[in-house]
Chain A
Amino acid sequence: MSSQTLNTGTNEHPGSTAGTPATPRPYRNRRLPAAGTVGRYAALAVAAALTLGPVLWTLSTSLRTPSESFNLPPSFLPINPDFTAYREVFKQINVGLLVLNSALVTGLIALGQMASATLAGYAFARLDFRGKNAIFSLVLATMMVPVQVTIVPVFMLIRGMGLSDTLLALILPAIPTAFGTFLMRQYFLGLPHDFAEAAALDGAGPWRIFRSVYVPLAVPGMAIVGILAFNFHWNEFFRPLILTISEQNFTLPLGLVTLQGNLGTGSISVVLAGVILSMLPALVVFIFGQRTLREGLTAGASK
């Protein structure tokens, strides 16, 4: 499997029928572009509206004043934006600290996964050692184990290590990554062998070949691992709920759920302002790293 297998779902022109005037199209389609086509566009429009509607409602409601935020009719477009809710959410919760915690946890997990997966993936793809296949199968098998099953012993382990209620309790267990290792192995297998042979002829040892030849080539693969880790752990709720106790160690999703619990239905726009703020980094990833994220998300299926 080469790096090409990572490219599923990114084809801009799937066009089984697009741009092929020679194709004998069904008769009725030519006569009545209405029937099928209109129905299809209507269905797609409804699906798009249902997908975007809730997000637009959240955005525009966060921009209403807290007192009228639950008034009907609802607002779907922020026509007269009011930023009271955004000022208020900073007063209600320590947004800065939540963002800092989330950024630290997510960033360190992403960096740790990129480093450890690159090393392990390279070993599985390019180095010779005994029991390689067995060890690799063992690593892959860990993907089958849901986090909910290991969480109780992990919680006790963390206590035993004296890391209860620290950010490290969230970071350390998340660094070993079976999926990241799998991705990086695929990536290294897809890179040509010739470079290594040429470097070896020039007298480079295994470390030099890894460091100077393959790591620079593997940066796009590392980006996939990093972006996947970011997307998953920025949004993670279950582990922080269990492994952090005091509010000063909360991450954003946990802080927001707590805020909703405290404010209840009193001022929707304040809670929604927090929700919108927490979405901003995800939005940045969506805009600039969407292709990478798509490749990473779908890569597991082409195993």
Chain B
Amino acid sequence: MTTTSTPPRHTVKPQAARRSFVERWLAMIFLAPTLLGMALFTFLPIIGSLVLAFFRWDIISAPEFVGFANFASLAQDPTVRVSFLNTIVFVVVAVILQLGIALSLASMLQARMPSWLRVFLRSTFFFPLVLSAASVSIFMRYMFNEQFGVVNWLLSLIGIPAVPWLTSPVASAAVVVLVYVWQNFGFSFLLFLGALSNIPKELHEAANLDGATGWKQFSNVTLPLISPTVLVASVMAIISALQVFDQPYVLTNGGPGDSTRTAVMVIFESAFQQLEFGEASAIGLVLTVLILAVTALQFRLSRRFVFYQ
């Protein structure tokens, strides 16, 4: 095709150039659905949220610029304040429970046991993950019913009087945590199971020979080796717990009072019940900043504390 005398080297070049030209076009076409979709349904809405947070708008009348008033209401509005406090307490308690249960169960599965039993237990702990949080909250609401609920019935068998699970502030917060952890510990469990099974068994043998067994072996050998997974599992658990909505919405609808109202519930209520779209956007932005902060913290911590093999 090409003109000059030097044969093979030159004949390849235009072909390669044409190829890379075709590739560029192909890449653009291939990326179009994802990138256009994200531009429309993620990036545009983020900008929209940023703008909306400075306006008061109920969709019906014209938006009115209010400066930082929407953010100020976060500090002043008692419902908003309580819901953020609730969310933080929820995250701390739920994440500690979730990771603790997951890590204990994953460690126990490392022991010698019949393989069918291990598969059965792994499937069992994984199962709640495939259910919908709404369905789970529906049946759990019946189970925690004060009069005819199965939980109080079981407690009555060991002589504990009926607990007003869904009508007392503290107990209803506990129910939301329990139902959430019941459904989600399986995720952390899977992560820990993968990490634990990747530890070379020679390390445990060496530790045994050195006399490090039980808790000593776990804290000095196992835990450092799975620390990258512990960090990732914690961050993923924190981020997902910060966004809790389905369980409190169905179980208690935020009540009694505001005792189980969470940040996302307030976003939902101020936007779609009170038509305060600006305030909802402002609350959403604060939540995003919290999530970004947790992620940034992950990167810092992973450089300082995590042991990579």
Q: Which residues of A contact B (CB under 8 A)?
A: 8-20, 23-26, 37, 40, 43-44, 47-48, 50-52, 54-55, 57-58, 61, 70-74, 115-117, 119-120, 122-123, 127-130, 132, 135, 139, 142, 144-157, 172-173, 175-178, 181, 205-207, 210, 231, 234-238, 241-242, 252-254, 256-257, 260, 265, 268, 271-272, 275, 278-279, 282-283, 285-286, 290, 293-294, 297-298, 300-301
Q: B249 — which chain A residues lie within 8 A by C-beta?
A: 237, 241
Out of B46, B109, B124, which one reaches A145, CB within 8 Å? Answer: B46
- Looking across the interface, which residue of chain A has its beta carbon closest to that of B179? A54
Q: B267 — which chain A residues lie within 8 A by C-beta?
A: 148, 151-152
Instruction: Give the distance in Å from the alpha carbon of A33 to the alpha carbon of B218 in the complex.
Output: 20
Bitwise, B228-272 to A at CB < 8 A (1) or not (0) is 010011001001001101100110000000000000100110011
Q: B138 — which chain A residues lie within 8 A by C-beta?
A: 256-257, 260, 271-272, 275
Given A150-B42, A260-B250, A301-B233, 6 extra CB contacts under 8 A: A12-B119, A16-B197, A24-B208, A117-B34, A123-B30, A237-B133
Q: B134 — which chain A residues lie within 8 A by C-beta?
A: 235, 237, 253-254, 256-257
In contact, A152 and B191 (Cβ under 8 angstroms): no
Q: Which of B181-233 contact A (CB under 8 A)?
A: 182, 187, 190-191, 193-199, 201, 204-205, 208-209, 213-214, 229, 232-233
- Looking across the interface, which residue of chain B has its beta carbon closest to that of A154? B45
In contact, A148 and B284 (Cβ under 8 angstroms): yes
- Segment with Cβ contacts to A, from B2-10, B17-25, B69-77, B91-99: B17-25
Most buried by A among B26, B127, B264: B26
- Looking across the interface, which residue of chain A has its beta carbon closest to that of B136? A54
Bitwise, B23-36 to A at CB < 8 A (1) or not (0) is 11011111101111
- Looking across the interface, which residue of chain A has its beta carbon closest to that of B236? A301
Instruction: Give the distance in Å from the alpha carbon of A18 to the alpha carbon of B52 in the complex.
Output: 59
In contact, B49 and A150 (Cβ under 8 angstroms): yes
In contact, A44 and B108 (Cβ under 8 angstroms): yes
Instruction: Give the distance in Å from the alpha carbon of A129 to the alpha carbon of B250 in the complex.
Output: 48
Out of A73, A176, A279, which one reaches B41, CB within 8 Å? Answer: A176
Tell yes or no: B306 within 8 A of A by CB.
no
Instruction: Give the distance in Å from the alpha carbon of A175 to the alpha carbon of B42 in the complex.
Output: 11
Instruction: Give the distance in Å from the alpha carbon of A47 to the alpha carbon of B182 in the complex.
Output: 10
Instruction: Give the distance in Å from the alpha carbon of A210 to the alpha carbon of B36 in the complex.
Output: 21
Q: A47 — which chain B residues lie within 8 A by C-beta?
A: 101, 105, 125
Out of B119, B130, B204, B281, which one reaches A17, CB within 8 Å? Answer: B204
Tell yes or no: B174 within 8 A of A by CB.
no
Contact status of A234 and B132, CB under 8 A, knowing A51-B127, A123-B31: yes
Contact status of A44 and B130, CB under 8 A, knowing A152-B49, A176-B34: no
Q: A242 — which chain B residues lie within 8 A by C-beta?
A: 268, 272
Q: A252 — which chain B residues lie within 8 A by C-beta?
A: 132
In contact, A152 and B143 (Cβ under 8 angstroms): no
In contact, A152 and B277 (Cβ under 8 angstroms): yes
Out of B34, B123, B295, which one reaches A116, CB within 8 Å? Answer: B34
B119 to chain A, nearest CB (A): 7
In contact, A297 and B187 (Cβ under 8 angstroms): yes
Instruction: Give the distance in Å from the alpha carbon of A18 to the alpha carbon of B112 in the complex.
Output: 5
In contact, B31 and A135 (Cβ under 8 angstroms): yes
In contact, B110 and A14 (Cβ under 8 angstroms): yes
**30 cross-chain CB contacts under 8 A:** A9-B194, A23-B208, A44-B105, A47-B105, A115-B33, A117-B34, A120-B34, A120-B35, A127-B23, A129-B27, A144-B295, A146-B243, A146-B288, A148-B284, A150-B45, A151-B284, A153-B52, A156-B48, A156-B277, A176-B41, A181-B34, A206-B19, A207-B26, A235-B135, A238-B268, A257-B134, A282-B130, A297-B187, A300-B236, A301-B233
In contact, B250 and A206 (Cβ under 8 angstroms): no
Instruction: Give the distance in Å from the alpha carbon of A117 to the alpha carbon of B145 in the complex.
Output: 44
Out of A8, A210, A290, which one reaches B126, CB within 8 Å? Answer: A290
In contact, A153 and B49 (Cβ under 8 angstroms): yes
Interface size for B (C-beta < 8 A) is: 110
Q: Which of B118-173 contact A (CB under 8 A)?
A: 118-121, 123-136, 138-143, 145, 148, 150, 153
In contact, B129 and A297 (Cβ under 8 angstroms): yes
In contact, A205 and B22 (Cβ under 8 angstroms): yes
Tell yes or no: B285 within 8 A of A by CB.
yes
Contact status of A177 and B124, CB under 8 A, knowing A15-B110, A18-B112, A152-B281: no
Most buried by B among A8, A24, A71: A8
Tell yes or no: B274 within 8 A of A by CB.
no
Out of B135, B194, B204, B268, which one reaches A278, CB within 8 Å? Answer: B135
Q: B101 — which chain A residues lie within 8 A by C-beta?
A: 47
Out of B35, B148, B239, which one reaches A70, CB within 8 Å? Answer: B148
Tell yes or no: B88 within 8 A of A by CB.
no
Contact status of A290 and B123, CB under 8 A, knowing A24-B209, A146-B243, A152-B284: yes
Q: B123 — which chain A residues lie within 8 A by C-beta?
A: 286, 290
Most buried by A among B37, B46, B120, B182: B37
Q: A152 — which chain B residues lie within 8 A by C-beta?
A: 45, 48-49, 52, 267, 271, 277, 280-281, 284
In contact, B28 and A25 (Cβ under 8 angstroms): no
B126 to chain A, nearest CB (A): 7
Contact status of A265 and B145, CB under 8 A, knowing A15-B201, A237-B133, A301-B233: yes
A290 to chain B, nearest CB (A): 7
Instruction: Give the distance in Å from the alpha carbon of A127 to the alpha carbon of B20 in the complex.
Output: 9
Contact status of A153 and B44, CB under 8 A, knowing A73-B153, A119-B33, A148-B284: yes
